[in-house]
Every structure is written in C-alpha cells, then in structure tokens.
Structure 1
C-alpha cells in the first residue's frame, strides 16, 4: 500500500463539479479505512451540482435540490475535508502544495485538477471582466446565475439571450415555456446554422412559434440604466431592450493553474492515457479541463483532434477510470492498464418541450455531390417543423441532422453510434414519429445504451423498474440514468410505462 510520508496518502482535488463528485465517490471507502486523506476544494459556495440543468432551475422547472450531486455535510462527516468558497491561486509543484487565496498552503502527494471550463466573455463595450459583470448580466452557468434569471422572470422583465448555440437556445426556450418574454440574439442567418445546415431554418421557425423573438445581428455593447443592464446594442445602431442579459457564447477549458505551474497545455491540460499530466509526477487532470494527448507521434488515437469535448459523459468516464486506478493502487492491487482513449464523434442534442434537434458526425455533405460510396438523403417539411438529413458512406450512417422528429432522431443516433447500415429505403425511418413508431424507436435490446451521459443501458433501467422504481427520479437515484443532460428522460418514462402496461395486461 502506498501512503504519504506521515500517514495516509494526501490527495487534493481542485474543483468540485460533477466530474470531481464522481471521482470522490470512488475514494470514500479509502477515506473511511484511513488510507487516504482527501481534500476537495470548490470555488463556489455550493457543492457539486449538474450545470447542464441550471437553466431548468432558473425558470422554476426543477428545484435546486434536484440537481445536486454531492452532500458536503455528509462528505465531511465521512472524513473528507471539503472546502467550499475557496480559491486556489497557485500550484507549487516542487514542494507539492497548493496555495489558497487566503494565504494558506496545503500539501499533497497526489493532485487531481478538475477545474472544468469557464464561459467565454464576448467582446462587447461595457464588458471587460468576467468576474465583475454589471447587475443584470450573467452567464447562466452556476446557481447564482440561475437565481438572478429567476428574479428577472418574477419581475416580468424581458430576458435577452446572446448566443445561438445549444445552451443559448435551451435557455431561451426554458424561459419562454414558463411565460417569460425572451429575445434570442445570434450571428448568421439562423441559430445553429453551422451544425444544422438548412435544418437551422426549420429550428428558427420553431423558436418563433414558441414565442421567442429571434434577432440576427452583431452585438457591439451593452447599455446601462442606473448601473443595471437595460439593452444590448447592435452594430448599425439598433438595440434590444431587456431587464436581464444571459451570455451564452461558449466555454473554454480552465487551464490557468496548469499554465501557472508550467504544465503542458493546448486547448486543455495535456494528459496521457492514464490521465497524468505530461512530463510530471503526482498531477492528474479529468473532465472539461483535460485533453488526452499522450505526445507519442506513433499513437493513432492522439493524432487527430484531441480537444476536450465539453460533454458530461466523457468526464464521468475519466472520473471512473482514474478513481478505479487510484483505488486499485492504494489497496495494493494491480491497476488495469489504460488503453488509448476512445474518440467518438459528439452527439449534440437540443432538448426542450416541443422543440428538439440532434446532430452528429459529418453533416456538410451535399445531396448532389458525386463521390464513390457517399449518399445523402434529405427530407424537409417546414410547415410542420420537420427536417432530416442522413449521410452514409457505403451504406453506413456517418452523419445526421434531425429537427422536430425526436423518435427518428433517437433511432438515427443509435444507428450512428453502432456504425450501422441504414435500410435501403431511408424513408422508412421517418415513420418512427407516428403513433405506431414510438415503441420501435426505443433501443431494441437490453445492451443498448439508453443514457449516453452516464453510460447506462436499457437493461439496467429495466431491472431498476422491475425492482420497484416507478418514476424517473427513482430510476435516476438507483442507476444514474438521466442525471446528465436529461435528454433520456422520455425514454426512461417509456420503459416505465411499457413495464407497467405489460404488468396490467398480464
């Protein structure tokens, strides 16, 4: 068993988001056994919670307690040193310690950086410091932001959302669904045009039907009245009035601490296949801040794009990998060899009641392009808000766009992740959104992944339901399914309904 020089192995985790919380779960038994002295440092006053669902909290759709992923009090009672509202200003690698903003220093044997990502501050007149935003301006990134938006909605103020990506659109839709007045400002012809192509125009129409005012233009600055946000100024002199501004212009990995102690960084903190920071001992990184790129020129897995995907599922996988490795090593067992990272094309899902879109893989291919093995099928019904695009190479689905057709989109994602061939008659997939096609769109077998964020299979959800779980929260508590982006909640409900329908019929 490996221990520190003066007793238990001292492990410090910097960052207390969803990925850190998952990692800490693995170490709790070692803390209880006295083998590990674990310190978790979180800059926010709140313990880990699911950031993906912050917009739902802001509009009152769910409560703050429903998205919490860790209990600081319970961890402290179990022997974990939890420090909330605490900022690490520097890592002193030669002396293996972290320096805190209050002047204190904490020594470590192993340091795990789980600092996540930070929201991008757009270049606007009147905004020059992400830490000192004017009243009424926020990112909708944390619970404080959610509380500010909730207050604006309660005061019946117009919400201005800057950013036509998934996060901006989901925030706008959530606020509009709860009766808020919302204006979405974006650049380009239509929101998400780069990802959805012509399907973005169908999405734009759906946003308008949801009551959202969509404005295309380049933002120039913000206007303040009595020190508070009152309007977003556009180039050309136009302005968008509102009582609150939500900035949704993307995120970037947080690498400040790594840069400050001379760790190798690119888009994120560079780590090897074992998630250890390159060129050093005693430091690892996981989650949105970690970029797996081993630096070996002959490694095929690290030869392409290696930037952090910014998705919760891969972060949780890294937390499991590193947690299990630490537990094995500190318990005196051989750790499983870490193989090269699995690079999978991201599946981007827009989830909202009544408005949905999904895209993955190569989507730029033109239906009229003549290329051996390439085929592109497009179907559009703008009047009913539906659009589908399927890109195949030698019959295998390599790219998809689906708007307004949730069941077809779910089936296409399943086929895409399995690298499956599409049926010769592509139009047969379009029927899945009819009443008869609903059950057919569910993953067909127990081994199929139902929750991509947590990696939970349909079979695991079925076992949970058979064991007595009769609601999405109960299934989530027992399996972790649905605790990520929430996009699989409808599929979980379908499994529950199917189970009890069969039980009644029998």
Structure 2
C-alpha cells in the first residue's frame, strides 16, 4: 500500500484537561498509538490534569502536587498527542468543524468532546461584585494556584475565613484546622450542610466546633480590605469576621459558555443524550460537570426528574469510560456495548475528614411523621457524642440515608442503598456497628461489592492487587485507581491490606 492509500486518522479534539478528560484520554491512547486517531487536548491551566477533589489536602501540606497529578503532559506528547496547556478556546465553529483559540489558531476536528467542567461561584459581596480579579488574600479552592495561596496564608499564621457551608467549605476548614490553622467557617442557615443533613447538620456543627473551628451563621454582605489585602468579612447586622485570608467555597456552576456560543442545547449544563452526544448534533459530545444527560424522549423516566450535573468525580469518570469505550469500539470496528439510561441513584455525598464522618444519599428531607403507604423513617440522635442517623425506606427498601459520626453504620447503609436492599426490621441493629470500641472500619462483605465509588473498583479487585504484592494505599491506587477520587475509601483499602497481611502472618 502506498503512503497515499494510508487511512486518514480521525481528528478528535478534547476541550478541557481535568480529571474526566484525563480518563477519556487514557482510553484514546491506544488509538493514537495505532494511528487511528489524531488527538488534541486543550487545557486552560498551565498544569496537566490533577485531582481537584484533593486540592485542599495540597493547600494544607497533607499531600503534594505531584501526588494528585493524573496525567503527564510530556509522556502524552511523546506518544503523539497534541497537548496544549495554558490555551483558551474563544469559540467553536460548528459549520467548519474547528475550534478557534484566542491567539487566532484554528484546530479542525471530526469529533469534539467538551469536558469544560464547572466554575466556582463568586458571591455578590461589596468589594468583590464586578471586580475583574480577586483582591490579594481572597481565593477559591478550585485549582493548584488557589492551593498555593491558602498554603501561604497558613505559613503566615493568618486566620483563614472560609465562606460556604457545603462539603468543599467544610473539608477546607477541617483540613486547615487539623494542620494547626486558625479557621472560621461562615455559612447561611442554622448549620452547615443543613440542606443535605437536615437535623444532622446541627450535630455536624457541634463536631466542627470541637475540632477547633469557629462556626458563624449569617448572610455575608461584603469584605474589608486593609493596605490592599483582605482583612475581614462583613455580615448582615454589621458583624465583622476578622481574618487574613478568605476562601470562597460557595458552589460551582457548569461551564456552558462555549456550548451557548455555538448554539448547542443547554439548561443547567450542556444537554446530551444517553450516549453523551450533544442533542441535535452528530459530532459533538460532552462529559463531566458540564454535561447534563436529558434526552428528547418525553417518556424517559431517567430524564424526567432532576438532571443537573452532580458535580462528583465518580459519575464523570463513568461517563469518560462510557465514551472512551464507545469511540474505541466504533473506530476499531468492534461491537459497542449497549448503553442504557443514566442511573443517578448511586450518587453518595461523603464528607471526608480525620475523626469526623458524614454521609448522605437519596431522599433525605422526608418528615419522620409523614403518613404515606410503604414509607417509614427512622431517626436516631445522640448530640453529646456527635452521632446522628436517619434512614428512609419505601416498602422496606432503603431510599435515603443520613449518617454523622458513625462511620461503620454509614458504610453499611451506603452498601444497602447502592444494592437497593431491604433494611432489617429492627433498624436499631445497624447502630450497633459503631458501638464497639476499636472495631475496624466496616467493609463490603463480598468481592463484588463496590469499595471505591469514585473509580467503580470492587473489593475483590483491591484484594487481588494486595495478594499480588501491593502493600500500601499508594500502590493499590496506582494499580487499580481505587482511592484516586475523593479519598474516602482510603481506610477501607488499608483495612483490606491489614486483613491480608494479618492472615499471612498468622498462617
């Protein structure tokens, strides 16, 4: 065959180089090596993909930047992938199938994947509203640059004010406090995470204060600046919360500006079908925080409820796996797997911190006194010991849970929730899992049970890696991806390792 007869590689352009894009690139690497695909990855940051979930750990010095990296730009370039870091996409030219950069360059595509993620929300505060850039001492906690700013504040022993009572804000506050920082957490409502934890949020607030964090409730109105640097957060009523650094953790919003600019269908996110293809297109897909799965079929039950992006790394990785395998099957000529409607039930919110556990999933806002056929709600509260549990069942099947300060009970409830299992008739029997001092962390009972929800890794896969010689969480993570997401399964991985080697020593 002459060179003129060689097949032309499929041009795939990925816009965004976060954790989800990095996972997709892994699937496409063999196609690039085979000459089937010409891949371009465009990242707005100067850094290649890293795990954003662990940025707070970097900020407080608990882990290094190198430890959370998910991609090696130099290695990808050596493989033949066109990696462009620090590049900004101005717009997508759909009629001519090209991506236009703000420096005037045009990159043609046959398939375009938008993995633009989400952007942090900037609250309306006097001193911030309308500002083109954040003043010195004010940062988000979204990227490595933010982590470096918080790290500098900790090193200078400045009081850190965290604005936002969600998971990101609480984890940032806890991480800083655990490393010796002076921290104030400011939130709306009666208690942090009240929307998700209900009455359990008040138990959480008490635990935060025991951890040395000053917890302040109230609406924020503005910031004060002294000598050009942040010096305090103003609340309604005139209260001033002093501090040397302000971390904004007020939520995120899917980035849809490129999609809006080229007339793609958008709602909260970029609307895609069950194959993750942008609606009414043939050559554009979206994955991760920017993608909202909602098909045009009005009878589709999976798309009838809430479809907004979940903002969790696990579902994003699942989408990257789905799309990567579909591309590989199509371009290699192998049969593609049948894709069903999205399952949003598996979303579980986990607060990870040393000595403080909280988990919630499913429907949690049901009143315990609601009278409805098949519905039962059990609530148990022990504020003095920082414990709270709520279980919602329909016809005996667990449909919602909240668990604070009870790691073993929470792990068991999550397992039952994900398996759509019935609870025992005596709900209180589950509470006994946390009653034994010194008990090891609860583990899924069988090898097929999911141990790492983010990466979708089962206990059996982790056990196999340990049996093959992996003796640390880092080694298990490198070989299986378990523990590379939110990190909440690290204790379970350690327990598998300890269990294996204790048996080996005993024998």
TM-score of Structure 1 vs Structure 2, range by shorter chain: over 0.9
> For residues 335-484 of structure 1, what are the structure 2 equivalents within 5 Å?
335-435=336-436, 438=439, 441-484=442-485
Match of 2:278 in 1: 277
Give, in whole Å, the separation in 2 of the partners of 1:358 and 1:336: 33
Matched, 1:62 2:66: no
Identify if the C-alpha distance between structure 1 residues 131 and 477 changes in structure 2 by more than 3 Å, giving closer, same or farther. farther
Identify if the C-alpha distance between structure 1 residues 128 and 102 changes in structure 2 by more than 3 Å, giving closer, same or farther. farther
Match of 1:73 in 2: 74
Match of 2:136 in 1: 135
Match of 2:206 in 1: 205
CA deviation vs aligned residue, 1:282-325 (integer Å, no higher than 9, x gap): 11101110111111112222122111111111111111111111
Equivalent pair of 1:158/1:243 in contact (CA under 8 Å):
yes
Moved more, 129-138 or 374-383: 129-138
Shift of 1:253: 0.6
Give, in whole Å, the separation in 2 of the partners of 1:303 and 1:375: 25
Equivalent pair of 2:350/2:488 in contact (CA under 8 Å):
yes
SS in structure 1 of the partner of residue 246 of structure 2: strand
**TM-score (norm: length of structure 2):** 0.97
Give, in whole Å, the separation in 2 of the partners of 1:440 and 1:239: 42
Shift of 1:372: 2.2
Equivalent pair of 1:431/1:437 in contact (CA under 8 Å):
no
Moved more, 78-87 or 368-377: 368-377
Shift of 1:436: 7.1
Paired residues, number = 504
SS in structure 1 of the partner of residue 112 of structure 2: strand
Give, in whole Å, the separation in 2 of the partners of 1:222 and 1:138: 13
Identify if the C-alpha distance between structure 1 residues 436 and 243 changes in structure 2 by more than 3 Å, giving closer, same or farther. closer
Q: Where does the alignment leave 5 or more consecutive residues of structure 1 unmatched? A: none
Give, in whole Å, the separation in 2 of the partners of 1:298 and 1:420: 27
Match of 2:118 in 1: 117
Give, in whole Å, the separation in 2 of the partners of 1:5 and 1:259: 37
SS in structure 1 of the partner of residue 154 of structure 2: helix
Matched, 1:158 2:168: no
Identify if the C-alpha distance between structure 1 residues 174 and 130 changes in structure 2 by more than 3 Å, giving closer, same or farther. farther
Match of 2:248 in 1: 247
Match of 2:323 in 1: 322
Give, in whole Å, the separation in 2 of the partners of 1:165 and 1:79: 41
Give, in whole Å, the separation in 1 of the partners of 2:428 and 2:346: 24
**TM-score (norm: length of structure 1):** 0.97
Shift of 1:345: 5.0
Match of 1:53 in 2: 54
Equivalent pair of 1:121/1:130 in contact (CA under 8 Å):
no
Shift of 1:494: 0.5
Identify if the C-alpha distance between structure 1 residues 5 and 188 changes in structure 2 by more than 3 Å, giving closer, same or farther. farther
Give, in whole Å, the separation in 2 of the partners of 1:396 and 1:32: 48
Equivalent pair of 1:432/1:440 in contact (CA under 8 Å):
no
Moved more, 219-228 or 298-307: 298-307
Give, in whole Å, the separation in 1 of the partners of 2:80 and 2:439: 48
Give, in whole Å, the separation in 2 of the partners of 1:341 and 1:199: 30
Shift of 1:5: 11
Match of 1:232 in 2: 233
Equivalent pair of 1:189/1:216 in contact (CA under 8 Å):
yes
SS in structure 2 of the partner of residue 441 of structure 1: coil
Tell me the C-alpha RMSD between the 2 structures: 1.6
Matched, 1:180 2:190: no
Match of 2:221 in 1: 220
Equivalent pair of 1:286/1:318 in contact (CA under 8 Å):
yes
Q: Where does the alignment leave 5 or more consecutive residues of structure 2 unmatched? A: none
Shift of 1:131: 5.5
Equivalent pair of 2:28/2:328 in contact (CA under 8 Å):
yes
Equivalent pair of 2:13/2:113 in contact (CA under 8 Å):
yes
Give, in whole Å, the separation in 1 of the partners of 2:387 and 2:82: 52
Give, in whole Å, the separation in 2 of the partners of 1:306 and 1:194: 18
SS in structure 2 of the partner of residue 352 of structure 1: coil
